[in-house]
Structure 1
């Protein structure tokens, strides 16, 4: 490579870095101004971040991308990064840190006390909601495979949206809060099997799809089990000695580096095993909850969690295409409301069966009604395997995104409805 080429490459990297600086500045401005403004009027800060995302999306500042002349042009063009894969990947670390922090609040004894809700109510919610929603898409004329993929994708809820909404209301330790958390944990455990199942779907005639490669799919569960075993065993043996050694140095920066290492490394081990990164971080948090360093770790991690979660909500808002909603409002809004209604009706009787009061069951069912962030991953995989038509997939993703905006509202009003 010639010196001129090196110089051009360096300039391109510098220009790309400048674009990210613009995004960071706008995001921090939103954190410092918009969110406190929402909170002043007792509106969830999550809605503030979502509103900023819509403002920066395709129907806000996005309309100016490529159309602003002069020196301000590159500034507006940089906002296109809010919808980029790299920014969204960074934002998803907020979910990872959130689950790690939740893990820090749970000892194995407390987790054991939730096993009935996790493996009973939680897994039943995934199964029943998947069947009900798959039935909806079959009724709408989709094939068996496409309906199955959509049912499983939309049965999941958003950990990143639901838990902060409950935390805003200080409801995480209530009966409904514990039930919601248990269901969300079961949903995280279900992500790997769902992705494997969607990967086993094969396209048949007339756009229908069925299951194929069953033995291969079952074998794919083995890495997940091995990965979880490695995380638990290694964590039990290594985490306490590691933090004892780091704490002995009395170096705060080193302690912070060790915290970040544990979060990211445990998440990466889970990803390699076919699980979600957040689930790996959650396991690490549970293991560290047994140590005497729990509170110090929690204090250090909290700022990272808050900022990255905020960025996650901004990217969710940026994905909302208002123009597409206006192009077919009846279908998109009908699908969104139908999704939330069916999930709510599916969860409520299950919650009652597991002993929740009428009020707690309504709160649990309502806040779990909207879709989750994993719906995007599962639907994209179904489209990639030609099990699902791209236009239907994009409409479902749009409805799933729109449903996320209802989470803070449902968290606020579900108790009053009950």
Structure 2
């Protein structure tokens, strides 16, 4: 968290992540804040413009936020770029604008750029944490438990089929080495719970049985994805799978989720009583955020995703009498932070890998075409694995599991950093992530709308017969 800097004189200069070293003044601190503020202006403008345009052509606003991010990111205008993509301060249009108002040395510019990027990244992470907390609040724990077996089947099938088909295809059709094939196959197992949950909330299907199965399966997918990533990363480093790591992750994930829900239910009366006794403004919201951030921290330090802690906190607090009031109070917080997350996902998306005119991209695009087919079909088939209830919209469940989003990019990033992936394979994974992330929101809306139309027609027909 040391990259999130505010311009206050009492902060030690050494907190500025290498920006303010000995002999430097607080000027760099002010410039970091200026860069972050300018970044937020650009992010909010892009999110609103993109969201409004998509809303007017009947597409999910979250898709507009993703597209807005692409426009201001590394692919087009380069307002918002990040060092991990290989960008420097000279590549950032925000840093260039900042340079017009201040005399920056190349070293100072790079340091400010690094800290500004980290600050925005942390705000984006907070955005997805708040999003999952909000989704947990809007979810029904009893319904999630009821659909638990169905969600588990969907998650396991949705992980197993893409992983097996992807790995086998890369090994035998494209003759890739074993470790890169396994890594690419593992990237196919991911599901971006944030993107799907936002779309479900926008179209009013988050609380539906299908929506709860999707959310439950996506949460399990996250856990399975963490385990698979740990296994594959271990395979890359040591050449062998460390069984103890797998056992640790499985036990810690299960203990955390089940323990949090059981303990949370016991503490609900204490929580409500505490909030009722407090006299200061924002007592419910702040107390709830303390609980959510604490669980996110615990999840993070035991090598799980912080968003799982936030989601669990939302589920627990949804069981209290304060649920509706808290839902209303968390909305403005989500409106401030969540768009940063989606815009950053889009900004990090490098569309240059889609250019077939670059010879080095062609092999990657061929492999990507295969990965995209497996990525979509694997999750759609998983949706049809949901058993019970003939009227269940299984196609919608499958489509809801399709987007890989930031989770898929994590796999690509780890694989690239470890040296396990060739440039072509790395590009192929990124293309797969881009396509699945952008096609899922509109298709999810279509499949739910068609199901609703069929239900309405059947009801009308039944009424006419009566």
- Structure 1 pair 133/172, CA: closer, same or farther in 2 (3 Å)? same
Structure 1, residues 303-340: CA drift from partner, whole Å, max 9, x if none? 22233221111111112223332136655555555334
- Structure 1 pair 416/324, CA: closer, same or farther in 2 (3 Å)? same
Counterparts of 1:226 and 1:178, CA distance in 2: 21
Partner residue, 1:127: 160
Three-state SS of the structure 1 residue aligned to 2:298 is helix
- Structure 1 pair 284/358, CA: closer, same or farther in 2 (3 Å)? closer
Name the TM-score, length of structure 2 as normaliser. Answer: 0.77
Task: Report matched runs for 1:6-25 at 5 Å.
Answer: 8-25=24-41
Three-state SS of the structure 2 residue aligned to 1:310 is helix
1:370 aligns with 2:403: yes
Counterparts of 1:96 and 1:71, CA distance in 2: 31
Q: 1:74 aligns with which of 99, 104, 120?
A: 99
- Structure 1 pair 60/96, CA: closer, same or farther in 2 (3 Å)? same
Alpha-carbon offset, residue 185 of structure 1 = 2.2
Q: 2:197 aligns with which of 139, 145, 163?
A: 163
Q: 2:383 aligns with which of 348, 351, 364?
A: 351
Partner residue, 1:36: 52
Counterparts of 1:225 and 1:257, CA distance in 2: 28
Alpha-carbon offset, residue 152 of structure 1 = 2.0
Structure 1, residues 159-218: CA drift from partner, whole Å, max 9, x if none? 1111222222223344543332232122123133223212321468xxxxx533323442
Alignment RMSD (CA, Å): 3.6
283-292 vs 174-183, greater mean Cα deviation: 174-183
Q: 1:268 aligns with which of 291, 297, 302?
A: 297
Partner residue, 2:219: 185
Q: Retained in 1: the 8 A contact 2:139–2:212?
A: no
Counterparts of 2:100 and 2:70, CA distance in 1: 18
Name the TM-score, length of structure 1 as normaliser. Answer: 0.84
Alpha-carbon offset, residue 26 of structure 1 = 1.7
Alpha-carbon offset, residue 22 of structure 1 = 0.2
1:60 aligns with 2:76: yes
- Structure 1 pair 336/158, CA: closer, same or farther in 2 (3 Å)? farther
Counterparts of 2:216 and 2:326, CA distance in 1: 23
Q: Retained in 1: the 8 A contact 2:399–2:443?
A: yes
90-99 vs 268-277, greater mean Cα deviation: 90-99
Q: More helix by proportion, 1 or 2? A: 1
Alpha-carbon offset, residue 394 of structure 1 = 4.3
- Structure 1 pair 214/5, CA: closer, same or farther in 2 (3 Å)? closer
Q: Structure 1 stretches of 5 or more lacking a match? A: 205-209
Alpha-carbon offset, residue 113 of structure 1 = 0.3
Counterparts of 1:225 and 1:176, CA distance in 2: 23
Q: Retained in 2: the 8 A contact 1:34–1:48?
A: yes
Q: Retained in 1: the 8 A contact 2:162–2:379?
A: yes
Q: 1:45 aligns with which of 61, 70, 81?
A: 61
1:235 aligns with 2:260: no
1:153 aligns with 2:153: no
- Structure 1 pair 240/140, CA: closer, same or farther in 2 (3 Å)? farther
Alpha-carbon offset, residue 103 of structure 1 = 1.9
**RCO comparison, higher one (Cα < 8 Å, 6+):** 1
Q: Structure 2 stretches of 5 or more lacking a match? A: 1-11, 14-19, 81-88, 102-108, 452-466
Q: 2:344 aligns with which of 306, 315, 322?
A: 315
Partner residue, 1:249: 278
Counterparts of 1:5 and 1:51, CA distance in 2: 38
Q: Retained in 2: the 8 A contact 1:343–1:368?
A: no
Q: Retained in 1: the 8 A contact 2:223–2:253?
A: no
